[in-house]
């Protein structure tokens, strides 16, 4: 109605009326409830294929599947994860054949030979086997006692045969070996049960023995006995 009171009619703007989004005539939009599409003729599948036309809107997206306690965000697993599988992963253990150990290196073999000679040396002492000691020890072998007295091999073995030195047991506490080419020094802390000149006691002896390699064989050259 105009200011003068007469009724007026509005002219069409030339635009088509805007469809309401809730109108059944509107195309279905994803995520809304299913509605029928108007004006489309159903087409039968051709050669067994289903029709590409839909009569209703697609279903709303479902929540993504996830493991218990996981998040929706995905990220690479850390390298230390126990579940990470690596192709062609190399083992850090030394290569060995099944059931066959690797041969020892030169240094390892020398250490094994020295310890073997050392155990034979102490074993002959506790058994009082002077002939074996004579063969194991170098011809110039000397034994330095706790008193500082340096005794040659022949004299020591003679007194052992006479019962002046009787070694009942020698228990090793710890062992240290320094290897240098054809020479080595073996230091052993022991608890020694021995009778010396008729007096038996438990001695905390520190035995330091120098070894030399002669024709491929490690031989005790000298031993110094002190206390610890």
Task: Tell me the mean pLDDT in the region 59-79.
Answer: 50
- The ranges assigned to domains in the chain are 109-227
Across 35-39, 106-110, 130-134, 145-149, least confident range: 35-39
Q: What is the mean pLDDT of residues 118-137?
A: 97
Please tell me the total number of residues recorded for the chain in this structure. 228
Task: Report pLDDT for 220.
Answer: 98
Indicate whether this model's pTM tops 0.95: no
Q: How far is CA 154 from CA 118, 150, 172, 190, in A?
A: 19, 12, 26, 24
Identify whether the C-beta of residue 209 lies closer than 8 Å to the C-beta of residue 175: no
182-199 tens-digit pLDDT:
999 999 999 999 999 999
| 127 — pLDDT class (breaks 50, 70, 90) | very high
What confidence tier does 104 reach under pLDDT thresholds 50, 70, 90? low
Are 225 and 145 contacting, i.e. CB atoms less than 8 angstroms apart? yes
Which residue, among 178, 168, 176, has the nearest Cα to 207 in the 3D structure? 176
Which H/E stretch holds residue 131?
helix 130-136
Q: Give per-residue pLDDT as tens, 198-212.
A: 999 999 999 999 999
Alpha-carbon distance values, 13 to 8, 10, 16, 17 (Å): 15, 9, 8, 10
- Higher per-residue pLDDT: 10 or 213: 213
Cα(32)–Cα(89) distance, rounded to whole angstroms? 51
CA dist., res. 81 & res. 34, Å (int) = 46
116: left (phi over 0), alpha (psi -120 to 50) or beta: alpha
Cα 226 to Cα 206: distance, rounded to the nearest angstrom: 5
The DSSP symbol for 8 reads -
pLDDT of amino acid 217? 96
CATH number for the domain running over 109-227: 3.10.450.50
Determine the pLDDT at residue 224: 98
């Amino acid at each position: 109605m105009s200011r003068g009171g007469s009724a007026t009619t509005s002219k069409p703007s030339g635009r088509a009326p805007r469809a309401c989004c809730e109108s059944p005539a509107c195309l279905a939009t994803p995520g809304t409830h299913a509605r029928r599409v108007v004006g489309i003729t159903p087409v039968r599948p051709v050669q067994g294929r289903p029709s590409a036309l839909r009569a209703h809107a697609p279903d709303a997206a479902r929540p993504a599947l996830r493991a218990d306690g996981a998040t929706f965000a995905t990220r690479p697993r850390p390298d230390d994860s126990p579940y990470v599988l690596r192709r062609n992963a190399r083992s850090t253990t030394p290569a060995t054949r099944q059931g066959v150990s690797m041969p020892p290196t030169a240094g390892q073999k020398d250490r094994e030979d020295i310890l073997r000679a050392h155990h034979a040396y102490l074993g002959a002492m506790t058994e009082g086997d002077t002939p074996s000691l004579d063969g194991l020890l170098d011809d110039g072998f000397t034994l330095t006692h706790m008193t500082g007295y340096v005794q040659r091999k022949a004299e020591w073995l003679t007194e052992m045969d006479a019962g002046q030195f009787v070694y009942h047991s020698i228990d090793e506490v710890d062992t240290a070996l320094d290897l240098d080419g054809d020479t080595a020094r073996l230091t052993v802390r022991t608890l020694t049960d021995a009778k010396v000149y008729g007096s038996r006691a438990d001695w905390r002896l520190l035995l330091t023995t120098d070894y030399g390699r002669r024709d491929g064989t490690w031989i005790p050259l000298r031993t110094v006995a002190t206390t610890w």
